[in-house]
Structure 1
Amino acid sequence: MLKASDGHGAYWTKAIAEADDFDESNGKTVLTFFEAQDVAKKLARRDNGSADSAPITVDGALKDYRRDLIARNANPYNAEHPRLHLSSVLLSKPVALLTAAELKKWRDSLLGKMVPATINRLCRCVCAALELATQHDQRIQNRQAWEVGLAGLPDAQEARNVIISDEKVREFVTTAYIHDIKFGLLSDVLAVTGARPSQAVRLRVEDLHDHPVRPKLMMPKSAKGGGRNRSQKKHERYSVPISLQLATKLREAAKGRADDAPLLMQSDGRPWDKNPGQNYHRAVDKVVTAIGLDQAVVTMYCLRHSSIVRMLLANVPVRLVASLHNTSVAMIEKHYSKHIAEYGDEHARAALLQHEPPIGDNVIALAS
């Protein structure tokens, strides 16, 4: 146990390892008295000899990272999401004492719970938090721990654009309504428009244009891409057509509410927030399981990916598909070309050259 003065009349304490009373020292979790002294000095003193702050933990690093993201107008969910998967032991560990072995063990424990691409994204969030801590505390000299322990998993570079059939999309939405009416309405909007969840939850009551024949939503643009125009993008909107059935449900949800009020709400009356995944991820797991799909593969985003492929297969021009989904033609071609080949089998077969008339065809060619 390390006890050190904060330089202002108070003390902070931190457990750093177990004593070698019963087990031999391993230099990490079990230390001799002299090894513990060296570690304590490293944690308690900066290079200039001061002792004005306790060593930052992983928990503290994530908190600092969240504040930094907010200050830069970036998504704080990148600092919040790792907490759902980090153990209390890792969260309380000083960043300066992290080892590659324990971080690798944690990363590998996620295999089977989520796909490699998601694990890599999660690890990048943790690395960003630890890197920020390193920039502000010269006592942290173990950058290699996360560079090695949280290295990206192979075979995870491909975009995870999961497509489900129209039948399964309808099942998803129907089951979502059964689970929770407000969650069902959010799912319905995402399935019909193909918008990102972060866009749909920013819809206001006034964004519903309830035309009797051609209803539409003025969908907020995504702030993807960052840069100087990030804040401006959040206020821009574009027109997305919706079905008459969905318009009726949204009209009912908006009844009696102010124009600037959120259009989509949770059942307890709260907005979905900027990071809706935190509020609906358990509901999605239940719905996905109920309709016989794998919750480790199918997420809320499958509604968006399925919408894009549905429009492409219906011969909607690529430029229009990209515009309706707030993306670019280049991104559509890069990420969805293989899905068109896979899911367009029926369309392609209708155009195959037939050397002989199909069986049962009663058309007889006339002799020339």
Structure 2
Amino acid sequence: MSWKTLDDMNLRGKRVLTRVDINVPVEAGRVTDATRIERIVPTVLDILAKGGKPILIAHFGRPKGKVVLDLSLRAILPALQGALGRSVRLIETLDGAENLTAEAEAADVLLLENIRFYPGEEANDEEFAARLAALGDIYCNDAFSAAHRAHASTAAIAHLLPSCAGRLMQAELQALEAALGTPKRPVVAVVGGAKVSTKLDLLSNLVEQVDSLIIGGGMANTFLAAQGLHVGKSLRERDMAKTAREIMAKAADKGCDIILPADIVVAREFAEDASHETLAVHLCPDDAMILDAGPQSVKRIVEALDAARTLIWNGPLGAFEIAPFDAATNAAARHAAERTRAGQLISVAGGGDTVAALNRAGAAEDFTYISTAGGAFLEWMEGKDLPGVAALKGGAR
């Protein structure tokens, strides 16, 4: 690894500036989903166990460099204290952080107020980063989900202090390295979702990296139409037909097998338990929508998964939100989970709809790694350098 972890640092008696992502949903002043808070607990407790003082840096919402009281981290404080089981003190200003009171010094963990209240944060301002760096001795980045942002607390600060990855960041980087860096082959990728246009860079990179690419969801309709097949009233992007053909040509040149639906599940309305039928892929009626892949398609996907040793998954294979159009996603996800559980497959997945689909299928717990990083996960899969990761590799100047 070209970056350090907490195991490489002497934390005893050190103030550890720790970038975390606790940008959680809040309603009526209460956290409604504490998943992101729970995922930083190992890092914070490990710093404490090693004799360090965690000073958490976090953002909440998009205040755009201004103080917005509704976006204060104060609402998150009770959930954070509950998850950590330690005393946490909110430091409302940088002046306050530079001149800590005795009460603040006594707290186990310090939490700086929303870092995006400061315009220097999103500007990746070096003077602002230097002011932050002066608050600590060591920098720890545990926010992979913010690593695609070149901000003061994710990029500039890492060049000013001895730096390392937190446990969540470490797990994410190791999982992605196993999936795309030096993977066990064959490698299969599942890419679904509504639009080809939102995943052009992803598809273009994957056909150079993987052995088989399974395309599902609405974007599969665009590829089918690009081959001259009728897709009725299905969601598709007419202006992406040429691009879809270029991606297929590139895949053929690189030796990547693109797997598209061979049969389809169609309906006249998108509704729970709507009347539907399964047809060969070339028989979609003019007044129908393709809402899922059929059983023959699932059989081919399962065969690809059986041959694979590594799986990368982003996006559902159909309209997974409602039955019966969740069948292909559920069947493929459960098969991947079964092979992972048997030690036959390394499976890494990420993206909002992906996590929801795998949870719905009851498969998420058996995947090797599920990323909740969203944009950062996608940009990594697209082959882009992430500023927050690059800064950790570069180290202090």
TM-score (norm 1): 0.27
More helix, by proportion: 1
When Rg is computed on C-alpha atoms for both structures, the one with the higher figure is 1
TM-score (norm 2): 0.26
Higher relative contact order (CA 8 A, sep 6+): 2
